[in-house]
Structure formats: structure tokens, C-alpha cells
Amino acid sequence: MKLLWTNLKHFSFTSLVLLGLALGLAVVFSIDIDYGDDRRAYKVGGEGPHVFFVGDQMQLNFIRGDGESGFYLEQQTVPLTAKVQTQVYFPLEDNHFALTIDGSSPDRAPDGSFIPPPLRYQDNEPILAISDIESAYKTLRDFLQAHRVIDANLNWTFGKGHLVLLGDMTDRGPSTTQVLWFIYQLEQAARAQGGTVHYILGNHEIKNLQGNFQAADKKYQFVATVLGKQQIDLYGDNSLLGRWLASKNTAELINGHLFVHGGLHPKLATRNYSLEDMNTIVRANYRTAFYPKKNAAASDLLLSTRDGPSWYRGYFDADLTQTEVEKTLTAFDASAVVVGHTPQRRVHSLFNGKVLAINVRQPRDYRGSIPPRSSEGLLIRDGQYFRLLADGSADPL
């Protein structure tokens, strides 16, 4: 018995040491372990709206019912220019938020397509940026409320400020529908108050547009099936959200800061691409999967799934010099670049303040993690940078 007790103590001590070591390595290398799996994440009933174009009309589809009684579609067909008041359901809290689908809004063309946003802004208004939400609606909502971008009723309270959502809002979670409609609604709310929501596409939005759903939550396979669609149809050219996503930019210059999901490869400093060129080339290929080609054209650098602006990680894993970083910024008339994509332990700056890295591992809607995740973002105000924390506080960078 004494030997057994001794071995048990040794085993327990060794296990605690290994657990501590694992947690330490997780912190150092920005790795965490998910736990828990709230069954509400799989709820398909209440999903929607999923809006598709049928001739010169829009068809709104809501999924009703459940796995026991069966699912059915509730559909509403309206003219392209209609203004529809509806709601989006969030299973985790068993509540809804209001949504207005405005077919005649300033960003809509008569044929139902969306007009791409401007690429340049100069007004010295504050900028709040956050990235890589990965389908966590509650996380995004709570962070924006904590920093007074919106109020408790989701009304825009950031005045003429700029809210930059720096890509990868989709995938890896079951709240993609809620996140996308929330951003869509925020755009309208901000515009009405003189503010701007900038949705810069990341590599995961582009994957969705290309039909690559390897990282998407499996829930959306079932959603597409109930809708009588393939998963690619959810963001296809015949869907409202698909056309809306495909209109978004890859990079924008806001008050001298270039916002791009991945980063700028140093070769771009020698290619003579303008900001317009970059966005035009990449947008034209949002729905075309990239593959390396023999005798590749110069534009392939922009489309590469390693070196393209939505994919590049060179600020963190390449041997770049300060001069190389600054040359690419000069090529695009930028004083600094703000990027997401590559996970960091905290929002921070690199290369003497020329690169601002803002992708932290954001909390998930339906799962916990070890170590616990906590939201962060970036505020640029009056020429100063602030690291924003989940509790609403701000630390100067």
C-alpha cells in the first residue's frame, strides 16, 4: 500500500508538471485547447435568412422546425429594390437581433449586385480594428459594446469613426450567419451616422467564395441541405451574402494606414501595383482557386495562397529587414500596415511601429479554451495607438 501511495504521488506530481509545461508552451506559442461543446451550436431551426436572387426578385429563406418534428422552409419573395425588416436568431442566447435588407441602399446596384467600397479615406477620425473573429458573433458584439462602438441595443455609437473588420470573420464556428448579417446591419447603422464599417476580406472569406469549406462548421452542410442547396450556394453569386462578400476589398488605406489581412510581400515594392490594381486583380479572382502555374504572370504574386495579401505571414516568419518593410509601405503611400491572419499573444507593433499585428485568439461562442481566450483590438486616435482589451480598457502601445 505504501508503494502504491508513493507511486500515485509521483504520478500526480509528474502529471502536474507536464500539465504546467503544456500550458506554458501553449502561452508561448499561442496555442490553446478547446473544451466543451454546447449542443445549441448544432441548432438548425431558426437559421436564416438565406437570401437568393430569383429573376428580378429576392427570396428570403428561414429554416423552421427541429430534428424531431422535421424541418421546413418559410419563404418570402420580394422585389429587388424592397426594404425588408426581419430578424436573425442566435441560439446561444435564444434571442434575435433586427435586420434590414435594403434593396435600394447606396451600396446596391439596380441588378441587385453590390458596389465595391472606396479604397482610400482621409478624415482623421478614430479607427477601431479587430480581426479573426472566426464566426463568434457574441465575441464581436460584446467587444464592440465594451468599446462603445455600439450600445446595448446594437445602435451605432461611434459617430464618424471607422470600424475595420480585418478578415476571417467566417469559418471555425457555428455563428457565421449571425456574424455576416451583424456586419451587414452595422454597415447601414454606421452609414446613417456618418461612420464607416470596413470589411476587409481574409483568406477564409476567399475560401468560402471559392467553395472551400474545409474549415467551416459542419452545421452549414445541414443548413445547405435543408435549403435544397449545395454548400457553395450559400455564398455563391446567386446569394445576397455571396454578392456582398465578393464586393469587398482586399486592402484599404485609412488615414495613412494600410489595412490588409495577411500583409505585403516585399516583392510588391518592385511590381508597380497600385492599391487599385491590387484590389481589382484579387477581386476578379475571389471565386477562382489559385494554383501555382509554370511561367506564372506577375499578378500571381497577388493571388498566391502563400505570398498574396490575404495569406502572407512574412512579418512573423521571414527574415525581413526594416528597409524592405518600409519600401512596400512607400509603394502604397502608407505610414504603417495593420494585419491579422497570424495569431499573436497580444496586439503589438513590430518593425519600429511600421507593422501592427492585431490577430489574437478570440473567444468562441459555444466552447471554452485552456488557457482562456480574451478579445483584443486596436484603436488609432490622434496619431496614437492603443491596445484594446475585452473589459473596455485601453493600453497605449
Tell me the per-residue pLDDT of 30-69, one tens digit each, with 9 for 90 and over: 566 777 788 999 999 999 999 999 999 999 999 999 999 9
Answer whether residue 19 shows pLDDT above 90: no
Report which of 74, 72, 70 is spatially closest to residue 86, judged by C-alpha positions: 74
Please tell me the predicted confidence (pLDDT) of residue 20.
56
Contacts of 149 (CB under 8 A, 6+ apart): 128, 156, 157, 158, 161, 163
Q: Is the pLDDT of residue 111 over 70?
A: yes
Q: Tens of pLDDT along 205-241?
A: 999 999 999 999 999 999 999 999 999 999 999 999 9
pTM above 0.75, yes or no: yes
The pLDDT, as a whole number, for residue 251 is: 98
pLDDT of 10 reads: 61
pLDDT band per the 50, 70, 90 thresholds, residue 279: very high
The DSSP letter of residue 366 is S
* 257-260: strand order across its sheet: 120-121, 251-254, 257-260, 336-339, 355-357, 348-350
Cα(268)–Cα(270) distance, integer angstroms: 5
Q: Give residue 30's pLDDT.
A: 55
- Three-class SS of residue 72? strand
Within 13 Å of residue 229, how many CA atoms lie on the same side as its CB?
20
Q: For the chain, which domains are there?
A: 111-396 (3.60.21.10)
Alpha helical stretches, state H, the chain: 2-28, 137-146, 176-192, 203-210, 219-227, 240-246, 275-284, 300-303, 314-317, 322-331
Q: What pLDDT band is residue 166 in, cutting at 50, 70 and 90?
A: very high
Is the CB of residue 340 less than 8 Å from the CB of residue 202? yes
The order of strands in the sheet holding 50-54 is 50-54, 57-66, 70-79
Q: Which residue has the higher pLDDT, 21 or 206?
A: 206
How far apart are alpha carbons 135 and 380 in whole angstroms? 25
**Contact between residue 244 and residue 209 where contact means Cβ atoms under 8 Å apart:** no
Q: How many angstroms separate the CA atoms of 188 and 107, rounded?
A: 10
Residue 15 has pLDDT above 80, yes or no: no
What does pLDDT average to over the chain? 93
Q: DSSP letters along 202-220, please?
A: -HHHHHHHHT--TTS-THH
Cell numbers representing residue 48 in the block = 436564416
3-state class (DSSP) for residue 376: strand
Query: Residue 62: left if φ>0, alpha if ψ -120 to 50, beta else—which one?
Result: beta
Distance CA 257, CA 133 (A): 21
Residues 261, 308: Cα–Cα separation, whole Å:
10
Average pLDDT over residues 255-275: 97
Reference 392, options 150, 32, 196, 92; nearest CA is 150
Pick from 221, 179, 198: nearest CA to 340: 198
Supply the pLDDT for residue 295.
82
pLDDT surpasses 80 at 8: no
- The grid coordinates listed for 355 are 507593422
| pLDDT at position 296 | 81
Within 10 angstroms of residue 2's Cβ, the number of other Cβ atoms is 6
- Of the candidates 372, 395, 375, 371, the residue with the CA atom closest to the CA atom of residue 385: 395
Query: DSSP code of 269?
Result: G
Identify the band that residue 182 occupies on the pLDDT scale cut at 50, 70 and 90.
Answer: very high
- The DSSP code for 124 is -
What pLDDT sits at residue 55?
92
- The arithmetic mean of pLDDT across residues 90-106, rounded, is 96
Residues 287 and 309 sit within 8 Å (Cβ to Cβ): no
* DSSP 8-state symbol, 181: H
**pLDDT score of 1:** 61
